[in-house]
Amino acid sequence: MEILKIVIVCKTRPAGNIILSFKDSISDKRADKYKIKEDEIYNLRIYFKVRYDIVYGLKWVNIVSKHHIKIDKHEEMMGSFAPKRGIQWKDITLEQCPSGFFARGNYQGKAMVYPQISA
């Protein structure tokens, strides 16, 4: 399985959606910094390819931290996917950015996509 890109879909963002592409950086899968407004409702769309084997129980885990303190952890089962020639995609449920004075600042996220069992 290969993750091609992750798109952060923000309907009210004037600059449009945020695209995190992983094609250029093969060894280090780090994304550039980006900004999302307070109280913004967004969802993630993951584009990937399943090449040779069926992927069972694909799971998405996202850990958000601020100043090295874990703020939020979101886990979601994406499902099982069969190999296809084309690109497949899956939407993760809607989330809302924190708001208020204490919620402002820089956050770091660590996202993982992994299968539960691979055949």
Query: Measured between alpha carbons, how far is residue 34 from residues 54, 81, 94, 99 in Å?
Result: 34, 30, 18, 17
Q: Give the closest residue to 79 by CA, choosing from 51, 109, 48, 52.
A: 48
Tell me the per-residue pLDDT of 35-67, one tens digit each, with 9 for 90 and over. 778 888 889 999 999 988 888 889 999 888 988
Check pLDDT > 70 for residue 25.
no
With bands split at pLDDT 50, 70 and 90, how would you rate the model's confidence at 27? low
Complete domains list, the chain, with CATH = 2-118 (2.70.50.30)
Distance (Å, rounded) from C-alpha 21 to C-alpha 24?
A: 7
Output the pLDDT for position 4. Answer: 87
Output the pLDDT for position 106. Answer: 85
Secondary structure E strands in the chain: 2-10, 18-21, 41-49, 55-66, 69-81, 88-91, 95-96, 108-118
In degrees rounded to 5, what are phi and psi of residue 21?
Answer: -100, 140
Arithmetic mean of pLDDT, 80-104: 87
Output the pLDDT for position 83. Answer: 92
